[in-house]
Structure 1
Amino acid sequence: MYRRNLGHSRVKNLFRFASPKMNSVLTVESSLEFDACFHFEYSPKIEHFEAQPQGFYYPFNGRDCGYTPDFAVVENGVRRFIEVKPQRKTLNSDFRSRFHAKQIKAKELGSSLVLVTDKQICVNPILSNLKLLHRYSGFQAMTPLHLYLLKLVKCIGVVSVAELIEESGEEPGSVLATTLSLVAGGEITTDLLNSTLGLDTRVWC
């Protein structure tokens, strides 16, 4: 098997993603990989993810080449490798040939290797919503406002942040921040795909 150790690089800027889901800080090599982490972190289907997992050697043009996937994820109980690349770089014939060889070797090892590009990662409003949620993620003690808003959502059902502000009589900024922390913690749910998070955002349990 093959493993790279990411350290300080004069060529590449390294990015660090703090993951409450994994209870660790992941080091990645590009802003695109960093953005991919937000999708992994908040996807309910992704049970586990790691950056720069143990890789493997694959044959290419008569020699063995070392390869480390960008990520390994466990989705619905199935582990697979993820390669993250800007779409423009995937059009290169050498990349395509090498990637196909890597996929064959990964399959021999019992895993699939999937290519994910910026066309799938850098999609808004979901990416901007996930980044906003991440500001409110991690361990936070449940305050009286958390408990009260959670009770309101359970009683009312589908409700907007603006309606929670009206019902609670609390300051709008505090209600919005507390609601987002409840979403980030999985206590309540909202639609992250179709509209930007704000006062009109509707939430439910």
Structure 2
Amino acid sequence: MRILDILPEVEAYWSQPGGFIYEFAGKQRIYYPDIEVKTRTGRKFIEVKPNDKLLKGDTFDRFEIIRLVLQAEGYSFEVWTEDQIRPEPLVSNVDLLQPYRLLGGTIYSTISIARAFGGRKRISIGELARKISADNAFEAVLPYIAEGKLCVDLNKPITADSLVWFYDGEIEQ
């Protein structure tokens, strides 16, 4: 959930949001997803499973049926394993940004930040910091990333050279 806190497309999420009925192997079953996520473009359910449990028994086949049922209802379905939630530098980046999200602290308006971009679509954190912070503080930009006002590639280490941009519905993977 700490990752969901940082993703700019996520508006809200709920743990164990409730169950729904599906049919598998000729029987009606109830599935309780781990997380429901409301994004800027829709809703999705996320199941969190260790890799080794994902491949045991009929789990993969059940999840495919669940995905199809949810898709018919207008939802997407993702299974996250340790491959999605524990890789570096993602974990370190989330650890870096989390305190800024919890504390808040964006003092400049989105319009002021956009002006600092000077008409460009992307700008480095270092350059943006020089334009908005009296002491060129790298940390002055981090709350905007943590709050989802700016995007950064979370799969690369966040440095002063990292490029940031405004969320436009597409997330780099």
Q: TM-score, normalised by structure 1?
A: 0.57
Comparing both chains, which one has the higher relative contact order based on Cα–Cα distances under 8 Å and sequence gaps of 6 or more? 2
- Give the Å deviation of 1:80: 2.9
The aligned residue for residue 159 of structure 2 is 198
Percent of pairs with identical residues:
28
Q: Distance in 2 between matches of 1:112 and 1:168?
A: 40
Q: Distance in 2 between matches of 1:111 and 1:84?
A: 17
Q: Which residue identity lines up with residue 54 of structure 1 in the other structure?
A: G
Unpaired segments ≥5 residues, structure 1 = 1-33
Q: Distance in 2 between matches of 1:78 and 1:100?
A: 20
Unpaired segments ≥5 residues, structure 2 = 167-173
Q: CA RMSD in A?
A: 3.9
Alignment of 1:118-157 (within 5 A): 118-138=82-102, 140-142=104-106, 150=113, 153-154=116-117
Q: Distance in 1 between matches of 2:25 and 2:51?
A: 24
- Give the Å deviation of 1:83: 1.2
Assess if the C-alpha contact under 8 Å between 1:153 and 1:204 holds in 2: no
Alignment of 1:1-205 (within 5 A): 34=1, 37-38=2-3, 40-60=4-24, 64-75=28-39, 77-103=41-67, 105-106=69-70, 111-138=75-102, 140-142=104-106, 150=113, 153-154=116-117, 158-161=123-126, 164=129, 170=135, 175-194=137-156, 196-203=157-164
Q: TM-score, normalised by structure 2?
A: 0.65
1:46–1:151 Cα change, 3 Å: closer
- Could you list the per-position Cα deviations for residues 82-101 of structure 1 after superposition, in whole angstroms to 9, with x for gaps in the alignment? 21111111110232344345
1:58–1:153 Cα change, 3 Å: same
Q: Which residue identity lines up with residue 158 of structure 2 in the other structure?
A: L
1:88–1:152 Cα change, 3 Å: same
Count of equivalent residues: 162
DSSP-derived class of the 1:134 partner = helix
Runs of 4+ in 1 over 6 A off after TM superposition: none
